[in-house]
């Protein structure tokens, strides 16, 4: 029972936070999930204010993991520490250990790390360049040797945007609608072929139809990469993720298969949150 042992291991890291011994892992399209990120004792503070008070959690490969929790609970900070985007903020201090495929993230070359762990932000942030140049940006700075146009087309197809923009690749990215811009940003992140894709509330600025499109996209992407999505929209977490972690006040309250967490949460605080009693 490989799967169970994985769970064991995870529980060893964080016995306090996982309610039940026998957390069943979700059905995975690639068979046995393996932990890709191993996070232990993660504390992050900005200046004198500590935002995360020691998080232990494993993120599994080729699975969509959702992070939920009320705003200010530290879920974005958690996500940003995975590709060391926390370092962009002045006075940020990070303690604890994050391992990506058993290699310490902190000791990795940050450029290499961010190429392996892509990120999509809350609001679409295309560069003031053409659609093509946006997608090609990551390839160019990483010295891509192949044919750029092929790689750009491939990424746009993966982001389900190709058909809409194939005739206007030279146009400014600002000419696109909000939803298209966000898919462009996903394509931009996918272009460097990351192993992990971090999404920080990617749909908060989008309408429901566009949101549905992006959720569908995530479902298709998980066969080729690991996805971690932060959301405050519980329906979205329930619809699109396999595993869900609930954070509250900088602490991990519960980490479960999504179905279980939303139907029979083991922690009363989780129940209170998902039934809408706070947050």
Partner 1 sequence: MSLRGRWRKFVNAAMLGITALFAITTVSVLFFILGYLAYHGGKNVTWNFFTRLPAPVGEPGGGMANAIIGTAKLLFVALVIGAPVGIFSGVYLSEFGGKGPSFFVRYTADLLNGVPSIVIGIFAYAVIVMRAQHFSTLAGGFALGVMMIPIILRSTEQFLKAVPRPLREGAMALGSSKWRTVLTVVVPAASSGIITGVMLALARIAGETAPLLFTAFSDRYWSSGFNQPIASLPVMIYTYAIGPYKDWHEQAWTAGLVLLGLVFVLNVATRLVFVRKIAAFS
Q: Which is nearer to partner 1, 123 or 239 (CB)?
A: 123
Q: Is 112 in the site for partner 1 (CB under 8 A)?
A: yes
Q: Is 24 in the site for partner 1 (CB under 8 A)?
A: no
Burial (0-12, 13-18, 19+ Cβ within 10 Å), 147:
exposed
Q: Is 123 in the site for partner 1 (CB under 8 A)?
A: yes
Q: Which is nearer to partner 1, 82 or 169 (CB)?
A: 82
Beta carbon of residue 72, minimum distance to partner 1 (angstroms, whole number) = 19
Q: Is 18 in the site for partner 1 (CB under 8 A)?
A: no
Q: CA 92 to CA 109: how far, in whole Å? A: 18
Q: Which is nearer to partner 1, 138 or 265 (CB)?
A: 138
134: left (phi over 0), alpha (psi -120 to 50) or beta: alpha
Q: Can you give the length of the chain in residues?
A: 279
Beta carbon of residue 2, minimum distance to partner 1 (angstroms, whole number) = 33
User: What distances in angstroms separate CA 95 from CA 54, 99, 153, 191, 210, one per listed residue?
Assistant: 8, 13, 40, 31, 37
Query: Number of helices and strands (H, E) in the chain?
Result: 11, 10
> Is the separation of the CB atoms in 14 and 57 below 8 Å?
yes
Contact stretch for partner 1 (CB under 8 A) within 18-26, 127-135, 213-221, 242-250: 127-135
Site for partner 1 in 37-96 (CB under 8 A): 83, 85, 88
Q: Identify the residue whose tokens are 């590709």.
A: 83
Site for partner 1 in 133-162 (CB under 8 A): 137-138, 141-142
Q: Is 219 in the site for partner 1 (CB under 8 A)?
A: no
Residues of this chain that interact with partner 1 (CB under 8 A) are 83, 85, 88, 110-115, 118-119, 121-123, 125-129, 137-138, 141-142, 174, 185, 188-189, 192
């Amino acid at each position: 029972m490989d799967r169970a042992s994985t769970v064991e291991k995870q529980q060893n890291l964080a016995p306090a936070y996982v309610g039940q011994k026998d957390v069943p892992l979700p059905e995975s399209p690639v068979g046995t999930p393996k932990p890709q990120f191993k996070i232990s004792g993660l504390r992050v503070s900005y200046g004198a204010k500590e935002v995360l008070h020691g998080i232990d959690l494993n993120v599994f490969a080729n699975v969509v993991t959702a992070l939920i929790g009320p705003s200010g609970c530290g879920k974005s900070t958690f996500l940003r520490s995975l590709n060391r985007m926390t370092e962009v903020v002045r006075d940020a201090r990070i303690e604890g250990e994050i391992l990506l495929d058993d290699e310490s993230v902190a000791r990795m070359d940050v450029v290499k790390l961010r190429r392996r762990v892509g990120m999509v932000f809350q609001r679409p942030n295309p560069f003031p360049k053409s659609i093509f140049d946006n997608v090609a940006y990551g390839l160019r700075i990483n010295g891509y040797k192949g044919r750029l146009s092929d790689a750009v087309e491939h990424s746009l197809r993966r982001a389900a945007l190709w058909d809409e923009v194939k005739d206007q690749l030279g146009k400014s990215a600002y000419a696109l609608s909000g939803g298209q811009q966000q898919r462009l940003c996903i394509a931009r992140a996918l272009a460097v072929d990351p192993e992990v894709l971090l999404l920080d509330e990617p749909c908060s600025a989008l309408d429901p139809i566009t949101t549905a499109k992006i959720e569908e996209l995530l479902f298709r992407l998980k066969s080729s990469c690991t996805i971690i999505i932060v959301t405050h929209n519980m329906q979205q977490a329930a619809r699109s993720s396999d595993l869900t972690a609930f954070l509250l006040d900088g602490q991990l309250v519960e980490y479960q298969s999504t179905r279980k967490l939303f139907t029979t949460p083991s922690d009363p605080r989780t129940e209170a949150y998902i039934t809408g009693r706070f947050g």
